[in-house]
Amino acid sequence: MFVDYVTIDVKSGRGGDGLISFRREKFIAKGGPNGGDGGRGGNVVVLGDENMHTLLDYRYQRHYKAEAGKPGGGSLKTGRGGEDVVLKIPVGTVVKNLETGEVLADMDEHGKTEIIAAGGKGGLGNDHFKSPTNQTPRKATPGKAGIQIKLTLELKLLADVGLVGYPNAGKSTLLSRVTAAKPKIADYPFTTLVPNLGIVKLQDYRTLVMADIPGIIEGASEGKGLGHQFLRHIQRSAVLLVMIDGFASDIDKTYQQLYLELEKYDPELVRRKMIKVINKTDIIAKSDLEDLKRKHGDYKFISAVTGEGVDELLNHVARAEEKDDDSF
């Protein structure tokens, strides 16, 4: 099951208490204070793991607590620190404070770690409080409490290119043609129910990661359909392919509707490099196709089924994806 959004509760460990203790040694008439400090509480840590692809585990276990630090010991021995809790999460996950909305970590690399909730400091033993006027201090401090936070874990796929369009525009068919991905393909709306990723191999031996999300419908930015739920997965994409069915009644209006839904969801999306694509040229009458090309010269024309125009499109995508190419 693909799960890309969960809420969990985490709490770091409490610090161990400092100790009140005095030396008791043979032949030493007056021993001094030797109480050790408490150990620090365990941290709550997140770790980016490229081998994880869903947040499913965190749907069933939502509470995580790090171990408390141990109290200080005699002979100035510091208590053992509490064990950290390490939460492995998919690369691309954004960790936020649920109550404030603050981004605490963006796990965009494999192996990246971030401390989300630091463990409490250990208390001070009585050795810290000795002075010329107080040789036998009977004072120690307790360990600091841990931090409790409600978190949201929000997975955003790491894709160079995002496919956007209405249901049945042919996004999944294109993904299956240019990558080894095997998305579900059928002739009814919302065949794609979860995001799909594939790796595109270009002619110059470079690769691009392409993401296909469920089809967007009018009102998606307000939560209608499935597209809104998964639009976050193209927020990291440098290039968006806006795919339109060649049989749409009004090509430009369809594009404007898609553009508006993207803008409503996140204004930054429409600042991406956008490539407009008309699909299904293989089943459009030749005269109608020529008419479309005259009217819509700024579009790329392809058939995701036969592959017509796809290589040219990928070359165009590769140029658009280059960070120093601002011609798009």
- 37-91 pLDDT per residue, tens: 999 999 999 999 999 988 999 999 999 999 999 999 998 999 999 999 999 999 9
Judging by DSSP bridges, how do beta strands 93-97 and 148-155 pair with one another? antiparallel
* Reported pTM: 0.76
Place of tokens 């509490």: 82
Choose among 46, 44, 60: nearest CA to 149. Answer: 44
Beta partners for residue 44, in sequence order: 85, 117
| pLDDT at residue number 191 | 47
CATH code 3.40.1350.10 for 161-321: no
The mean predicted confidence, pLDDT, of the chain is 88
Whole-Å CA distances, 286 to 144, 171, 250, 293: 76, 23, 18, 11
Cα–Cα dist 124/277, whole Å: 67
- 177-225 pLDDT per residue, tens: 988 766 554 454 444 456 788 888 887 778 888 988 877 766 544 555 4
Burial grade of 91 (CB within 10 A; 0-12, 13-18, 19 or more): buried
Confidence of residue 128 (pLDDT cuts 50, 70, 90): very high
**In contact, 126 and 136? CB cutoff 8 Å:** no
Q: Give one DSSP letter per residue of 154-184, joined into a string.
A: EE----SEEEEESTTSSHHHHHHHHSS----
Confidence of residue 141 (pLDDT cuts 50, 70, 90): very high
| pLDDT at residue number 313 | 93
Element (H, E) at 277: strand 273-279
Beta partners for residue 89, in sequence order: 48
- 277-288 pLDDT per residue, tens: 999 999 999 999
At 197, the amino acid letter reads: L
Classify the C-alpha dihedral 5-186-279-316 as positive or negative: positive
Fold of 5-155: Spo0b-associated Gtp-binding Protein; Chain: A, (2.70.210)
Whether 161-321 and 5-155 are alike in CATH topology: the answer is no
Cα–Cα dist 77/73, whole Å: 5
Cα–Cα dist 104/269, whole Å: 22
Cα–Cα dist 253/257, whole Å: 6
Measured CA angle at 197 (ends 163, 62), to 5 deg = 110
- 10-31 pLDDT per residue, tens: 999 999 999 999 887 776 656 7
Q: What letter would DSSP give residue 128?
A: G
Choose among 312, 316, 185, 297: nearest CA to 240. Answer: 316
At 4, the amino acid letter reads: D
| pLDDT at residue number 168 | 85
Domain ranges of the chain: 5-155, 161-321
Residue range 213-240: average pLDDT? 70
Cα–Cα dist 213/72, whole Å: 54
Cite the DSSP H helix spans in the chain.
57-60, 171-178, 227-230, 251-265, 286-295, 310-321
Q: Residue 250: count other Cβ atoms within 10 Å of its Cβ.
A: 10
**In contact, 192 and 171? CB cutoff 8 Å:** yes
Q: How far apart are the first and last CA of the chain?
A: 37
